Each structure stands twice: as C-alpha cells, then as structure tokens.
C-alpha cells in the first residue's frame, strides 16, 4: 500500500511540473532542453564559431570612430579633438588675405614687409600730430618769454625804452628808444628837431627766443649809424648766426643805441628825403642782402672799448 501511494504521488508531481507554465517557458528559452546552463553554453559556442555577432553601435557624426575605443585608439581620438583647436579658422570670403579676394599675397622668403594701410594711416596721423604739438609748445614758450620781457621793461628805472603792442598783439611791438649817449651828435640832433624818441618795430618769430626778432627803424629817418635802406639794421646779433636765446629785448636795444653812436648816426634833414618813411618790404630785402654779404666776408667785431 505504501509503495502504491508513493507511485501515485510521483505521478502527480510529474503532471504538475509538466503543466506549470514556468516550466514550459524555461523549456522554450533553453532551446528545448538543458536549462539555463545549456543556453549559456550554447551562447559561448555560438560566439566562438562566429555564427552570431552582436549588433554594432552606429558611428557618431563626423567619423570619429567607435564610442568606446580600444587600446591604441585613445591617443588618436585625443589628437583628432585637439587638431581643430590648434588650426586658425579660415578667413571669411572677401576678407583681406582670403583666396581670390584680391588681398595681399604671401611674401617670398627674404622679402621685406612694407607698411600696411592701417600702419600708413597711423604714421600719417602721428606725423601730423607731432608738428602740431611742437608748434603749441613753441607758442607757449614764446608767450611766457615775451610776458616776462614786458614786465622787466616796465620796471626799468631810467625809462630807457617803452613798449606798445601793435593791434594788441603780443608778438608785434613798437619800441620807443628815449635815450642815446648825451655826448653824441645824434642826441644833439634829437634836441634840435624836438625828437623825443626813435621808434622801432620788432616782430617775434614762432620759435623765439631761439631765433632773433626782426627789428627795423620806423622814424625818424636816420642816416649812417648802421641803419640801411628801409630802416634795416646791420647788427650781427640780429642774425641767426649771432643770436643767442639769452639776449633780452632791453640788451638788444642798448646794443642798438651804442651802434648808432658808434656809426655816427644822424637824423636826416634833407628836404623831401627826411619826410619819406621807411617800408617793411624794403627793410626785409636789405637785411637779407647784408646777411648774405657778411656770411661771405665775415663780420667786423668792434673793440671792447667802443662798447
């Protein structure tokens, strides 16, 4: 009886396992028999025989290779990523230097590079700025120097000279010489003709005090005393060669007063000629002529005892 019951139990267990859906599912997944282990064995065998290949991953755009490179491919991928960074971007169409844009051609080895349009424009701008700044500096130096000269002349105690600005211009002066040597014939002429002063005109160039002023006699009409046609004055210190920036207007006027006496200057009293005024154009022409003459033959320096 016990043996019969055991047989019946085994039969029922066999029927239950046969009817279980999980049993049928595992049976189909295993290829009909053998269980999971047999399926794994069959997978390894298929991989070795090459009969079943895994699906390949699609390549990324640009052909950079597999998503997970094997040994030896990492360096190539890194170089491919860095290469576009090292290369300069191509010039836009129509830009200077772009192919077919009419830009500058490549320079041959050993050839010198000339200034480009931007450099030439900067050089031209810089060249125009330098003279402008220099002119402004010279104007400031000239103005400061002449203002000082005016203050010094106004403080003179002997009233040797006085100054009037022509049309309120700081660079154009009318200077009155009130005194000369009282023992001279010129001083006697001034007393006899009731001439209170000798009037001169001084114009100061842009680069004064580094260049001399142009000085000429206006009135009265003088003869001799190194006063020439047009009222030009023959004095070496009034030329670029004999001038020094240390000379003041007062010093120049004292030298002129001494040269008048030394050269026996007189007031012209001839009828008709005494009333003829000097002209600036004639004075400038005469002064240029005498400068050329003295540059050729030299200047005669008077003795120290003559002042």
Catalytic residues: 234
Q: What is the crossing angle of helices 117-154 and 249-262, to 10°? A: 60
Contact 101, 93 (CB under 8 A): yes
Q: Give the β-pairing of 222-223 and 266-267.
A: antiparallel
CA pair distance 264, 13, nearest whole angstrom: 163
Compute how many other C-beta atoms are within 10 angstroms of the C-beta atom of residue 184.
19
CA pair distance 259, 241, nearest whole angstrom: 18
Q: Mention every residue, 6+ apart, whose C-beta is less than 8 A from residue 277.
A: 218, 219, 221
**Residue 226 three-state SS:** coil
**Residue labelled with tokens 């000339």:** 114
* Partner residues linked to 162 by β-bridges: 176
Q: Give the β-pairing of 214-219 and 198-203.
A: antiparallel
């Amino acid at each position: 009886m016990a043996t019969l019951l055991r047989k019946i139990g085994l039969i029922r267990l066999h029927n239950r396992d046969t009817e279980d859906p999980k049993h049928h599912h595992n049976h189909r997944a295993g290829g009909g028999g053998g269980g999971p282990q047999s399926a794994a064995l069959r997978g390894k065998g298929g991989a070795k025989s090459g009969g079943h290949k895994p699906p390949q991953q699609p390549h990324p755009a640009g052909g950079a290779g597999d998503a997970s490179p094997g040994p030896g491919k990492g360096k190539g991928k890194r170089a491919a990523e860095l290469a576009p960074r090292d290369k300069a971007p191509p010039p836009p169409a129509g830009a200077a230097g772009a192919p077919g844009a009419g830009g500058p051609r490549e320079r041959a080895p050993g050839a010198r590079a000339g200034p480009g349009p931007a450099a030439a424009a900067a050089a031209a701008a810089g060249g125009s700025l330098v003279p402008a700044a220099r002119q402004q500096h010279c104007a400031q130096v000239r103005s400061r120097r002449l203002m000082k000269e005016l203050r010094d002349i106004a403080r003179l105690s002997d009233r040797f000279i006085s100054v009037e600005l022509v049309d309120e211009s700081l660079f154009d002066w009318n200077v009155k010489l009130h005194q000369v040597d009282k023992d001279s014939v010129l001083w006697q002429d001034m007393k006899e003709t009731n001439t209170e002063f000798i009037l001169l005109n001084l114009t100061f160039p842009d680069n004064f005090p580094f260049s001399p002023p142009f000085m000429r006699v206006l009135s009265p009409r003088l003869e001799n005393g190194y006063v020439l046609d047009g009222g030009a004055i023959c004095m070496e210190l009034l030329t670029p060669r004999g001038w020094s920036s240390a000379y003041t207007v007062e010093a120049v006027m004292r030298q002129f007063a001494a040269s008048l006496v030394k050269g026996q200057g007189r007031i012209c009293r001839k009828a008709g000629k005494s009333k003829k005024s000097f002209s600036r154009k004639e004075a400038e022409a005469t002064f240029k002529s005498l400068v050329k003459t003295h540059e050729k033959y030299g200047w005669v320096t008077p003795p120290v005892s003559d002042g």
